[in-house]
Amino acid sequence: MKVFVTRILPAAAIALLEAAGLEVTQWTEKRKLTQEEMIAHCKDADALLSAGQLINKEFLLASKHLKVIALHSVGYDNVDIDTATALKIPVGNTPGVLSDSTADTAFLLMLATSRNAFYMHQRILNGEWGFFEPTANLGIELHGSTLGIYGLGKIGLEMAKRCVGAYHMKIIYHNRSRNEDAEKELNATYVSFEELLQQSDVLSVHTALTPETEGKFNMDAFKQMKETAIFVNTARGSIHNEADLTEALEQKLIWGAGLDVTNPEPMSPQNPLLKMANVCVLPHIGSATVGTRNAMARIAADNIIAGLKGEKLPHVVNPEIYS
């Protein structure tokens, strides 16, 4: 059986697939495949292992012969799950293994933004490390402040643990449902979305991208936040309205922002956010550690192998196909 892989993946994952007797073809060009190229490469494939590709209705209808699709990600907002389910194609993802590395990235962005770190580094490169002024280059104090989490799941919980341990921060959160484990472990308090906006000193986004969460953080939301608040997003760029975020920062409605995700991606080098002292932007590297990416690739390979054996995927997004 044949597997088409849309990116170069860690060798260990490819070895797993080949040890299972599968013929693996990897896309080696450093660009996304077009829909036409995806369809053409999957024409003779039995399975697709996708990293960073849009899997829409057009592709699925042209590739309905696929026995399994495995994603090299925990998010699956780039997949038409309804169509895949209707076609009885199981879709697998990689939950859990990237919680620590993504939480580390959120923590990094929070801390870097609180001290204007990226901008200060750029000033050194520009030869602007000048006269010492006791009232210049001041950041925001994090100790004892309030961390608000929008989407307190596995990644949000790890972020909260780091903030409690390092800065004794108070945790508030807003979810579709209560996280009783977090409430017991971290004394986290469930609040309404409006209360989350109004009370957070740092507001960190860790939710999935859905029709409900798309554009959730817009001008109306930013207007309700503290002028001293830091907004952090390591989930999906479409969850915040980037034009509104830019305007909110320019108008000093909030103090700063740390972003690992933008809309669109890649971000244009001319984006005004990149010129702001109080903004730190990373190129969507939340899960980018050797250990995490290896683990994600191995889970994706396990999903492929199970699917081609006709077994239930270890991590399936649409389990209703088995009922």
Phi/psi region, residue 89 (left: phi>0; alpha: psi -120 to 50; beta: rest), is beta
Domain ranges of the chain: 2-97+289-322, 99-281
For 99-281, the fitting CATH number among 3.40.50.720, 3.30.460.80, 2.60.120.10, 3.60.21.10 is 3.40.50.720
93 confidence band (pLDDT: 50, 70, 90): very high
Q: Which of 105, 160, 155 is nearest to 285 (CA)?
A: 105
Q: Is residue 265 annotated as a catalytic residue, yes or no?
A: yes
Mean pLDDT of 245-272: 97
**Catalytic residue (choose from 174, 284, 293, 298):** 284
Cβ partners under 8 Å of residue 208, min gap 6: 75, 77, 151, 235, 236
Q: Is residue 284 annotated as a catalytic residue, yes or no?
A: yes
Q: What is the DSSP letter of 149?
A: E
Q: Which of 69, 64, 85 is nearest to 4 (CA)?
A: 69
Q: Which helix (H) or strand (E) holds 166?
A: helix 154-167
Mean pLDDT of 188-193: 98
Whether pLDDT at 66 is above 90:
yes
User: Which tens digits make up the pLDDT trace of 191-208?
Assistant: 999 999 999 999 999 999
Provide the pLDDT for residue 160: 98
Handedness of CA 245, 285, 96, 66 (dihedral sign): positive
Mean pLDDT of 216-240: 98
**Catalytic residue (choose from 41, 236, 293, 298):** 236
Q: Same fold for the domain at 2-97+289-322 and the one at 99-281?
A: yes
Q: Where are the alpha helices (DSSP H) in 177-231?
A: 180-186, 193-199, 219-224
User: Which tens digits make up the pLDDT trace of 265-323?
Assistant: 999 999 999 999 999 999 999 999 999 999 999 999 999 999 999 999 999 999 999 98
Q: Which of 98, 89, 93, 3 is nearest to 46 (CA)?
A: 3
- Looking at every residue in the chain, the average pLDDT score rounds to 97
Output the CA–CA distances (angstroms, integers) from residue 286 to 76, 98, 105, 168, in the order listed: 16, 8, 5, 24
Tokens of 294: 């290896």
Query: Whole-angstrom Cα distance, residue 14 to residue 308?
Result: 15
Assess contact for 9 and 54: CB atoms under 8 A: no
Which residue has 């660009």 as its token pair? 31
Per 3-state DSSP, the chain is made up of helix, strand and coil in percentages (nearest 5) of 40, 15, 45
User: Which tens digits make up the pLDDT trace of 14-42?
Assistant: 999 999 999 999 999 999 999 999 999 99
Provide the pLDDT for residue 95: 94
The CATH number of 2-97+289-322 is 3.40.50.720
Whether pLDDT at 87 is above 90:
yes
Burial of 323 (0-12, 13-18, 19+ CB in 10 A): exposed
Provide the pLDDT for residue 89: 98
Burial of 191 (0-12, 13-18, 19+ CB in 10 A): middle
User: Which tens digits make up the pLDDT trace of 101-152?
Assistant: 999 999 999 999 999 999 999 999 999 998 999 999 999 999 999 999 999 9
Q: Is residue 123 annotated as a catalytic residue, yes or no?
A: no
Provide the pLDDT for residue 323: 84
Cβ partners under 8 Å of residue 236, min gap 6: 75, 77, 208, 209, 261
